[in-house]
Amino acid sequence: MNLALLIEISYFISAILFIVGLKAMSSPKSARRGMLWAGAGMVLAVAVTFFHAGMTNYGLMVIAIALGSAVAWWTAKRVAMTEMPQMTALYNGMGGGAAGAIAAVELLGPKEYGALLMSIGVLGAVIGTVAFSGSLVAFAKLHGLIKRTPRSVLVPAFNAVLALATLAGAIALVTVGHPAGGLALFFAAAFVLGVTLTLPIGGADMPVVISLLNALTGLAVGLKGFVIDNAAMMIAGTVVGASGTLLTQLMAKAMNRSLAGILFTSFGTDDGEEASGTGGTMREVDPTDAAIMLAYASNVIFVPGYGLAVAQAQHKVWELTELLEERGVKVKFAIHPVAGRMPGHMNVLLAEAGVPYDKIADLEEINAEFPRTNVVVVIGANDVVNPAARTKKDSPIYGMPILDADKAEQTIVVKRGRGAGYSGIENELFFADNTRMLYGDAQDVANKLIASVKTL
């Protein structure tokens, strides 16, 4: 059989394995198997690629694969589950960077492409490069390397000008020609654009941004696949681009924000600006009394937010849950779609702590249960339980689907301090008659609750 045909058939099989693998990820039971299939597809595709006729530089190729794999393997094995979002951002950025770099290699070469392929290639280069630098910024922000979020009215204007300049550069590359200097300028512009687009986006919007960057890299890879006539890249990239776009829309919807709003307006203030009080008083409770409330309840729902992850309290909260269940208390976890720093992040953190996934409910399943619940414990979450989303038309979060924690008989809010959430919006729930505030670090509080429940 001729080698070129064998390569094509293998790419075809890889593409099928990717799709079937992703499909299998729609259920927790088959998800790991799905990943195994996708992995097999990747190994097959890489293996046959060595047999392309006329290639050289095999030594460099093997070294690059070994180095890249080793670095990624080492970091991916070591990273804590709470840091998963930034690592995903980083690996995603690497993919975008690879797509951009492929375009650079092709454009530096002697081969000439027709106007259509050239346009697709240049588009892929821009998207890949933006995804690359954007992901690096997202990584830096999530990892706490960049703390400030610049909020200037000039940023959108600057971005618009830069985007137009990049577009003009792209058109020039296609119509006029592509000298090395021009290429460097073009890639630099796209790189800076990715940085300035991502930099002003607030921490609370990160789940949407990561999801979007993932979709962009997929799209860039797909477009590159068309240019270099590689079916596996074409199909896998496009599938990821489309699925990523859908996921991004779901996330944006869960926050009741338009994608454009997230990208081009500054909303999440993470500088801790405090809004003026809505009046009323917050009532405190100490851990001993809170433990009594929990231990003698018949059902309890925990609402974990990012604060829980920051305090690494998920293991302690699960320990507390097991104690309560021994006493016959029914415990569930309610998770808002945007809890954590990437879509579904909180589910992963709870799973890591050993919480079985049938105890974890999402918003639609559990909202009807809050009125029948004795005690709701909100840990490190704020905006996702803010009733203003249902009632206050002028609130920035009005219309956002929330967890109805305020409808339970009693609510305990575990919180580090009195400040408002990421959005800087005052939360009426904290002032409600049946709400008790339990101040402190989530892990600390969980420890105290465990100790108190044990003595009862």
Partner 1 sequence: MEGFVALYIFMLAAFTGYEVISKVPVILHTPLMSGSNFVHGIVVVGAMVALGFAETTAQQVIGFLAVFLGAGNAVGGYVVTDRMLEMFKTSDDPRSSNKGDQA
Q: Write down the least CB distance from residue 50 to partner 1, Å.
A: 7
The CA-based dihedral angle spanning residues 217, 220, 222, 227, taken in that order and rounded to the nearest 10 degrees? -160
Q: Which of residues 11-30 bind partner 1 (CB under 8 A)?
A: 11, 14, 18-19, 21-23, 25-30
Q: Is 383 assigned a catalytic role?
A: yes
Q: Return the amino acid letter for 1.
A: M
Return the number of the residue (119 or 373) whose C-beta is nearest partner 1: 119
Q: How many CA atoms lie within 13 A of 293 on its CB side?
A: 23
- The continuous run of DSSP H or E covering 307 comes out as helix 306-310
Binding-site member from 4, 61, 171, 456 for partner 1 (CB under 8 A): 61
Burial class of residue 328 (count of CB atoms within 10 Å of its CB; 0-12, 13-18, 19+): exposed
Give just the sign of the alpha carbon dihedral 223, 226, 227, 231. positive
Using the contact rule CB under 8 A, the part of the chain among 209-217, 257-265, 368-376, 409-417 near partner 1 is: 209-217
Whether the CB-CB separation of 280 and 427 falls below 8 Å is answered with no
Regarding 307 and contact with partner 1 (CB under 8 A), the answer is: no
- Least distance in angstroms from the C-beta of 17 to partner 1: 10
Binders in 95-134 for partner 1, by CB under 8 A = 95, 97-99, 101-102, 104-106, 108-109, 116
Which of 242, 275, 292, 432 forms a contact with partner 1 (CB under 8 A)? 242
Binding residue for partner 1 (CB under 8 A) from 247, 293, 295, 331? 247
* Nearest CA among 159, 328, 124, 405 for reference residue 237: 124
Shortest Cβ distance from residue 212 to partner 1 (Å)?
A: 11
Interface pick for partner 1 out of 4, 65, 160, 164 (rule CB under 8 A) = 65
**Shorter beta-carbon distance to partner 1: residue 156 or 344:** 344
Query: What is the C-alpha to C-alpha distance for residues 376 and 367, in angstroms, rounded to an integer?
Result: 12
Please tell me the distance from the alpha carbon of residue 109 to that of residue 106, in angstroms, as a whole number.
5
Query: First-to-last CA distance in the chain?
Result: 76
What residues numbered 340-369 form the site for partner 1, per CB under 8 A? 340, 342-345, 347-348, 351-352, 354, 356-360, 362
State which of positions 38-57 bind partner 1 (CB under 8 A). 38-39, 42, 45-46, 49-50, 52, 54-57
Q: Say how far apart CA 427 and CA 409 lie, in whole Å.
A: 18
Among 335, 376, 438, 442, binds partner 1 (CB under 8 A): 335
Binding mask 80-99 for partner 1 (x = CB under 8 A): -x--x--xx-xxx-xx-xxx
CA-to-CA separations, 277 to 181, 232, 428, in angstroms, rounded: 57, 56, 10
Q: Which of 205, 383, 404, 406 is catalytic?
A: 383
The residues assigned a catalytic role are 383
